Structure 1
């Protein structure tokens, strides 16, 4: 490397790190939202037996009409600015979908996970949320940016994976695999559809899992591949799922095929704090 080459390389490294820091700061801010998953105080699994739930008004059950709440004369909830009183049936809720209602400052998530209806209150005054001081990470390093290719299946495959919640399973439609190279070795990961159309998400573990990174899973979002299937995996942006922070999460575990033998020393590490049920 010549003397004139050095400043350009340094600037590239600096710009890469600054861009990563801006991204991670925004990601942590969303994670610590006062109504986000770090504010969850409990997860209640509904069945046909009506019962009261800690921190939530009403008597709750579920059945053919989906989740149902029976409110006494001095109780009410609010959904999209509309008061809910007496008996309210939410109707069947689709898998991985949900609605939110309010009781004062507390947001109550009514959702379906792994084929079961749940109620999760989120309290902005939750002490765990107040104690949250961020997530440790590896220093951003361009060597953990891998270029690869999306290899679609002939048709989407149903993939069943475990869950951070004991006894629960999740089923996802996987559109294909992501193939990439690291350190001269080729790897493949089963990919699921991302949040935005065309994007992908991979769940994985690696040789750092349970040592410096969270044991159960990490997640990486991947921008939509180009017309030829080419894509980029920036493992510096590998993040923890909510189950790394709280026992009140139902996060999916990676498919067995997504257990990498190499250590991915990039992205988020094991949180320093955890809310245990």
Structure 2
């Protein structure tokens, strides 16, 4: 009877503890943020909707689902049209020649009204989208290569979404850090999963203390709005995604910034095979086990 009584008390204690945790405004805010993250991922054009990435070669290429297409899509119309990669004044340019039957297609959410359209890549001032009822194609540029990224709202990765796995939120993993700015124009080489290396604006270094030690992280982004940190730690490949995780911050204020490791998230590559994720630079490989934030995605791609 004594053992049974203590067992019952233990269950009640755990339940009361969980209830108290959920009633904590800070914990509630973390849970709401996590729900929002899942909602964004599962949007019809979110990262879970990617079904293809096709690099363009010089010249014209027919693109579509038909077996005769030079680039065969897994989703979309039988013929999306022809795409021509050419060089103009020393720069690469992609021209889209829509098919004659184009009523179901849209260019940047408008009707297709031209027989030849110059496309802007995702890194340009005016990115281009070609869309249809349940999908789209976007021109992307990576390391001088131009390709077509394909989205499908009925993608299996989206249909079979398993939900996200997280460590329990812990306030000790929300730490204040010092931001040390670098001279204007500073850059850091960032590699991506394609094996490309790109010099990326590096506005400064973030310095924080944890478990009695000091750590530094090289920051990307705009200190006046949000820093972007690509981080590796000793949990990678065990409890968390093997290629590291992302952490976004609020704006830097008076040389200080908050690092909430509870909001570390997986890069898009954790959910699909068609992303071109950046990898943590050597400077951002922490000799620390960060048991906070998003765990390894339980689904597959």
- Normalising by structure 2, we get a TM-score of 0.81
Q: Does 1:192 align with 2:202?
A: no
RMSD, aligned α-carbons: 2.3
Q: After TM superposition, give the deviation of residue 14 of structure 1 in Å.
A: 2.1
Within the candidate set 157, 171, 175, 2:186 is matched to 157
Change over 3 Å in CA distance of 1:91–1:215 after alignment to 2: closer
Within the candidate set 142, 145, 152, 1:116 is matched to 145
Q: Does 1:262 align with 2:288?
A: yes
Within the candidate set 55, 59, 75, 2:82 is matched to 59
Contact 2:157 / 2:272 at 8 angstroms: preserved in 1? no
Q: After TM superposition, give the deviation of residue 170 of structure 1 in Å.
A: 3.3
Q: Does 1:170 align with 2:198?
A: yes
> In the aligned structure 2, how far is the partner of 1:96 from the partner of 1:113?
15
Contact 1:203 / 1:255 at 8 angstroms: preserved in 2? yes
Within the candidate set 122, 140, 152, 2:169 is matched to 140
Change over 3 Å in CA distance of 1:28–1:12 after alignment to 2: closer
Unpaired runs of 5+ residues, structure 2, are: 1-16, 64-70
When the two structures are aligned, how many residues end up with a matched partner?
264
**Other-structure match for 1:240:** 266
Q: Does 1:33 align with 2:33?
A: no
In our comparison, the structure showing a higher alpha carbon Rg is 2
- Normalising by structure 1, we get a TM-score of 0.87
> In the aligned structure 1, how far is the partner of 2:21 from the partner of 2:294?
24
> In the aligned structure 2, how far is the partner of 1:140 from the partner of 1:96?
38
Describe the SS at the equivalent of 1:193.
strand
1:66-85 deviation per Cα after TM superposition (whole angstroms, max 9, x unaligned): 22222332346311312155
Within the candidate set 16, 19, 31, 1:21 is matched to 31
155-164 or 39-48: which moved more? 155-164
